Structure 1
């Protein structure tokens, strides 16, 4: 696991400042504290920070082919490199290292842009071919590893593993993209391919970007996409056996390491299944790490302990105080962009714990998206039955009216909190699902934004992005469709971003067996009734693991990795929230309607409403502005092709 950076002149071979390259590279020192490497040539400069995992002695980067005409900087792991080396050797390529990195340069020589289709793993890399005068950027299929890039007005291209590396160059404009702001307050993150700044982009998962000197830049090219066919005729019993076999193989590939290796063990079924597969294939005791909370409402360690005892792991537990809120500014620095998943706090702490014992940790991330595990999936499927029974023309006026009139009863028992359900039933399938995952929902954002900011948005809606993804999904199956949407948005923008930044902050490599792309493709071929059955989420995985894991671990309510935001904002963080929202950087931007900010703070403090998640999103946005900053609304560009929008009145709901 590493950090990569680069500067490339698309118009010629102008000299590149070594100081700029070093500054960009050192901004990511945390990603690879073991070694530093740079390469400068006319018109191209590459930098690398190494966290040594495989081929400790000779795997340094930048890494070249035999005649030094091809050079690569690489972040990630190619798990099938051992299979590719003999194939490439037979084609005449000579290897001088035992590293997976060298496979990339020779695969490029052998197969060109199609080389990525041969790689099995998590990766982001930049390759320069001097003979072809070509820069090639690539990102793995599921977006486990990040890659940012930007073209400056003078034809210079920048790229790096984190946005901070591009900012460190000094030439990147910090003009905030209004669409990204709306995306953030809708979803809690800025989804691919945009960043918070209009001057920079993320390379989307499963995409490559080929740039040739002297030629006009083309658009990123997709080389992979998952297809939810649901047409696999396999029986339930056969599917259970096949899942165990495939999961074991995926775990085995990710246990290749020359440094200490272990696993996160939360006590949930995904991480527990990974640990079980590791223990059954390991010659020694597996290292496992868990976070304990001092509040039993958030603590799952008793379930993790059951798995640790069953497989006799070397189990390490760290106690985290539920008032562990001192990381707000640290998170803003780590993530570079606004990021509002509060579980980043315990994720940061479990990575901190793991790094004291191992350098590589396996996780259960990706299980919910690929196996149908989220609670919201069950709710959506139940709502979809009613949506399919009534046409949208009837549902919109009926449930739209009920959604407007029904009170927001955060204080009431869950079964009478129907406002959000009514609002969802008034929408089409795609927008209903987006509504269920939104932080600021459609009725809240018009009240949050100032009139000027809404004018700058010019009618843009995050729902448009969801519809674009849905149009490419190739399925009408209700569960498959929302799984596809999550793979394109939430998994990449939230989960993978959270784990990458939290782990890299501690120079820890995290590997995700449940995101192995052959496994993902196979799971997508299965009918939905093998994933959710009889109201039981993740049915296939649980049935498959019944002989491997304790019953209590699998068949219990899902807890999640939560922190007590509601209590924080009415207690120890009360003054901080009020100051940040009403007297901090938010007001300077001109983005927000102060009356609505005051309403949210007052209503939450009094207990009339629970605005925990929206307040956290605003708090993290304010922290981003203080740490990274950007232009105010005067510097905002109107989104291209946007349409005017009527200004909405601000109401204190």
Structure 2
């Protein structure tokens, strides 16, 4: 895995500030500590930090074609690079290395912009073709690898793997995007293509950018080259589908094992990571390195399930117990993520990456299983709500449940099934509105009170649900469950899950691969009947059926836990003063973004135990940490990493 960055002059061959490019590159040193490289020519500067994974002795970047007219900087892994190398060699291209990066320059020469459709893997890259005076930028189909960019008023186009590299340029505007603030306090992250800064963007998954020099062609041309099809395949018996699923799982995990460095797998004891480790063990015939985190509080610990799988497949299992009150990463995470990011599972994710790096350089994870196979409990809740929507006409349903939702008391202390207020509010909405309401970290009525009148005026009526509405309008399916999966694959997966893993792993120079998000596997799974994914209230139905001969019933059918931490008690106990200092002090007040009386109400109600406002308070705490460590402090490399707090 690597870090890439660059400066491109759209309007001519202006001189590139090499020292600025070097500073931008060094902010991402943690992404590639093995080597660094720069290339500067008239109107173009490219930077690269390398984490050596394949072809350790060569493959340095920036990497050129034979005559030096095409150069690329690349972050990721192309899993079919050997096949492409053979095909391109037969077409007359000459390779000087056995590195997957070199495939990209020759694929561009052969197929132009369509080269990305031939790549199987995770990638973000920028390629300069001097003869065509063209900069080509691309991001992989699911958004596994990040790419940020900005077009400055002076005609310079900046790009990088992380926002901190762009912040190294003092000319980059620092103004917050009001719409991004609204989106953050709805989703807990800023969804693609927006960033927290006005004028800075993320390249959306499955998209490319083409920039050509010249007054009439200067603006970036963005194009989508892939989408999740959700086209139902032929109807077959479930047993046949399960057998094919297992074979496809073996193939896709096998394709992700290519490396010249030490390799292992994350093992939480859940279905997805256990399935990946099982395939690794079967395919390699060797003792696989696995790692997991344990907590000293049984309510948050599932390490015994991971140990069970490790014993079954005789892995070299590495496990570390950390204190459940491991809350000392707030400022560090803000510096790593560059944007406000409110998923508290970033803390244990950081720790498991820290542990993995002690024994491996590449780790396979089970991310993507829940989105592919409808594993989240919220899908079950949403489908139950959908049944009610189907039975009651909209003219009756909206006023009835709208009234109940407004007047029913809030019971955030109760289990989800007993939170009638939340259910009533969802039933008063359509499918997309109801799902948005269910996944939001704070509902519309809370955000309306949280955001200041001035910010609401700037929003001019904009609401975060428009992100989901935009994706829903392009969804290739009318099935309700498939639509919700599509929405998650477009928002939650790249914006939350993949962002979390990329920043946490790269902080430790660890490459994480996600075989369940191989695009060919995702395409095939999307075409399976929805009833085989969520079946009689059981998520991942066909996935679990396929694995019944491989994993035990304890692993397949236990209740899902996830990487949860005791947020509510942290914010009332050890972080009590931190909450008061960060949220009620001058930092948030000076922004003018919030109704500070309401912020104080949230803090007092939570810390008194009268209400549970853990999600909004954590979101505010991470927003304050972003202001303090990123926006006010300026850009810089990641700080020294603290050791885990042992139990």
1:472 maps to which residue? 474
By how many angstroms is 1:411 displaced?
A: 3.1
In the alignment, which of 337, 347, 350 is matched to residue 349 of structure 2?
347
By how many angstroms is 1:231 displaced?
A: 3.9
By how many angstroms is 1:414 displaced?
A: 4.7
1:212 maps to which residue? 212
Matched, 1:270 2:265: no
Contact 2:211 2:221 in 1 (8 A): no
By how many angstroms is 1:584 displaced?
A: 4.2
- Partners of 2:185 and 2:360 in 1: how far apart? 36
Contact 1:5 1:158 in 2 (8 A): yes
- Partners of 1:109 and 1:192 in 2: how far apart? 30
1:22 maps to which residue? 22
1:648 maps to which residue? none
- Partners of 2:115 and 2:597 in 1: how far apart? 55
1:249 maps to which residue? 251
Contact 1:411 1:608 in 2 (8 A): no
2:121 maps to which residue? 121
Contact 1:160 1:166 in 2 (8 A): yes
**Unaligned ranges ≥5, structure 1:** 632-653
By how many angstroms is 1:431 displaced?
A: 0.7
By how many angstroms is 1:413 displaced?
A: 5.2
Contact 2:379 2:481 in 1 (8 A): yes
Matched, 1:314 2:316: yes
Q: Tell me the secondary structure at the aligned position of residue 149 of structure 1.
A: strand
1:54 maps to which residue? 54
- Partners of 1:630 and 1:240 in 2: how far apart? 53
2:35 maps to which residue? 35
Q: Tell me the secondary structure at the aligned position of residue 468 of structure 1.
A: helix
By how many angstroms is 1:391 displaced?
A: 2.1
Q: Tell me the secondary structure at the aligned position of residue 445 of structure 2.
A: coil
Contact 2:175 2:198 in 1 (8 A): yes
2:84 maps to which residue? 84
- Partners of 1:446 and 1:391 in 2: how far apart? 29
Matched, 1:296 2:298: yes
Q: Tell me the secondary structure at the aligned position of residue 193 of structure 2.
A: coil
What is the correspondence of 1:65-84 to structure 2 with a 5 Å cutoff? 65-84=65-84
1:6 maps to which residue? 6
By how many angstroms is 1:415 displaced?
A: 4.1
Moved more, 408-417 or 322-331: 408-417
1:368 maps to which residue? 370
Query: What is the aligned residue count?
Result: 631
By how many angstroms is 1:394 displaced?
A: 1.4
Matched, 1:282 2:275: no
1:640 maps to which residue? none
Alpha-carbon displacement from aligned partner over 1:351-372 (angstroms, at most 9, x marks no partner):
0000000000000000000111
- Partners of 2:418 and 2:367 in 1: how far apart? 33
**Unaligned ranges ≥5, structure 2:** 634-647
In the alignment, which of 579, 582, 593 is matched to residue 581 of structure 2?
579
By how many angstroms is 1:277 displaced?
A: 0.4
1:495 maps to which residue? 497
Alpha-carbon displacement from aligned partner over 1:153-199 (angstroms, at most 9, x marks no partner):
01001000000000112210001000000000000000000100012
What is the correspondence of 1:418-429 to structure 2 with a 5 Å cutoff? 418-429=420-431
What is the correspondence of 1:376-455 to structure 2 with a 5 Å cutoff? 376-412=378-414, 414-455=416-457
Q: Tell me the secondary structure at the aligned position of residue 196 of structure 1.
A: coil
Matched, 1:623 2:616: no
1:187 maps to which residue? 187
2:230 maps to which residue? 228
Q: Tell me the secondary structure at the aligned position of residue 263 of structure 1.
A: strand
- Partners of 1:532 and 1:429 in 2: how far apart? 17
By how many angstroms is 1:211 displaced?
A: 0.2
- Partners of 2:418 and 2:477 in 1: how far apart? 33
By how many angstroms is 1:234 displaced?
A: 2.6
Q: Tell me the secondary structure at the aligned position of residue 624 of structure 2.
A: helix
1:506 maps to which residue? 508
Q: Tell me the secondary structure at the aligned position of residue 366 of structure 2.
A: coil
Contact 2:11 2:218 in 1 (8 A): no
1:44 maps to which residue? 44
What is the correspondence of 1:167-178 to structure 2 with a 5 Å cutoff? 167-178=167-178
Q: Tell me the secondary structure at the aligned position of residue 524 of structure 2.
A: helix
Moved more, 105-114 or 579-588: 579-588
- Partners of 2:171 and 2:600 in 1: how far apart? 37
Alpha-carbon displacement from aligned partner over 1:273-318 (angstroms, at most 9, x marks no partner):
0000000001320000000001111111111011000000000001
- Partners of 1:126 and 1:279 in 2: how far apart? 36
Q: Tell me the secondary structure at the aligned position of residue 75 of structure 1.
A: strand
By how many angstroms is 1:416 displaced?
A: 3.1
TM-score, normalised relative to structure 2? 0.97
Alpha-carbon displacement from aligned partner over 1:45-81 (angstroms, at most 9, x marks no partner):
0000000000000110000000000000000000000
By how many angstroms is 1:220 displaced?
A: 1.3
Q: Tell me the secondary structure at the aligned position of residue 101 of structure 2.
A: helix
1:323 maps to which residue? 325
Alpha-carbon displacement from aligned partner over 1:319-347 (angstroms, at most 9, x marks no partner):
11110000000000000000000000000
By how many angstroms is 1:218 displaced?
A: 3.8
1:484 maps to which residue? 486
- Partners of 1:9 and 1:128 in 2: how far apart? 12
Contact 1:447 1:596 in 2 (8 A): yes
Q: Tell me the secondary structure at the aligned position of residue 243 of structure 1.
A: helix
By how many angstroms is 1:630 displaced?
A: 7.0
Moved more, 501-510 or 621-630: 621-630
By how many angstroms is 1:216 displaced?
A: 2.7
